[in-house]
Amino acid sequence: MIIATTGSLQAGPNAPIVYRGNYSDIFPLMREDGYHGVELHIRDSREIDRGKLDEALKRNQLTLTSIGTGAAYGLWHWNIGDHDPEIRKRAVECLRNHMITASPHHSLIILGSMQGRFCDAGSHEEFIYNIEESLYQLDQLAEQYDVTIGYEIMNHYESDFLFRIQDGVHFMETHDFHRIGLHIDTVHMNIDECDLGNAIRKAGSWIYHVHIADNDRFYPGHGHMNFREVLQGLKDIGYDGALALETFYRPESRVCAQKSLQYLNFVLEEVYGKNQE
Ligand code: LER
Ligand code: MN
């Protein structure tokens, strides 16, 4: 299990991302604040100098656990469920470019907002048909680039399809993907799950990635999310992926980063005992 923080070259003040700025500036801060992993939120991977990124990761001994992709939906509406085949093609191509960035690190590509909404397709049925077709394409690409994809289970205000973990499990079990699993997020779970630990235990090895934030999207420890239940569930299924902090950067980036790590380590120690890792 690795705790990852989040970083982005550019992000608005309400985006749930901890560090903002050039990688060469923010990676040393992440490392100094105690992190070994980073989830980068990238709007278009073609804007990244991949050689420089790899070098900065290595220099700061950071693992690129995952790539967040939602900005491309917010900015350009690229999504894999859309009625317009050109938009679906752009979404798949955008995700393929992220896979090239992720490939040397075998990182996970997040499929959250880029799933699209029912209103982006002509009908519910068309939406589901489109995302199935796009997911099979993405699954093949993920195999080619040796990465994985996390289909994010998002709450019913932000998603129309698969907003409970058990629905995600059913979807995965009735398809034949090799590189796609579920990505869960404690903020979304707080809205649509009735039992945090059991939702995780029932999903078992379908859980590929975890976003961590308190119920109010602040750093863990700020609100009332029961992280003991979440981490106990992850322990019970033998989860060994990342816990990526998708939190607001309030009151200030490094304070939030330090408080997050301190609180998570405290709960991890309670759940796993002193010699966890
Ligand atoms: C994306 O990972 C997500 O969880 C969104 O709800 C945040 O904007
Ligand atoms: Mn999330």
Q: Is 211 in the pocket of ligand 1 (CB under 6 A)?
A: yes
Integer Cα distance of 216 and 130 in angstroms: 33
DSSP 8-class letter at 107: P
pLDDT by residue (tens digit) across 59-81?
Answer: 999 999 999 999 999 999 999 99
| Nearest residue to 211 via CA among 254, 168, 264 | 264
pLDDT by residue (tens digit) across 203-240?
Answer: 999 999 999 999 999 999 999 999 999 999 999 999 99
Q: Is 230 in the pocket of ligand 1 (CB under 6 A)?
A: no
pLDDT band of residue 274 (cuts 50, 70, 90) is confident
Q: What pLDDT shows up at residue 276?
A: 57
Q: Report CA(246)–ligand 2 centroid distance (Å).
A: 6
**What would the mean pLDDT of 174-200 be, rounded to a whole number?**
98
Integer Cα distance of 277 and 274 in angstroms: 9
Of the listed ranges 9-13, 90-94, 171-175, the one predicted with least confidence = 9-13
Residue 275 pLDDT > 70: no
How many distinct helices (H) and strands (E) make up the chain? 10, 9
Q: Is 154 in the pocket of ligand 1 (CB under 6 A)?
A: yes
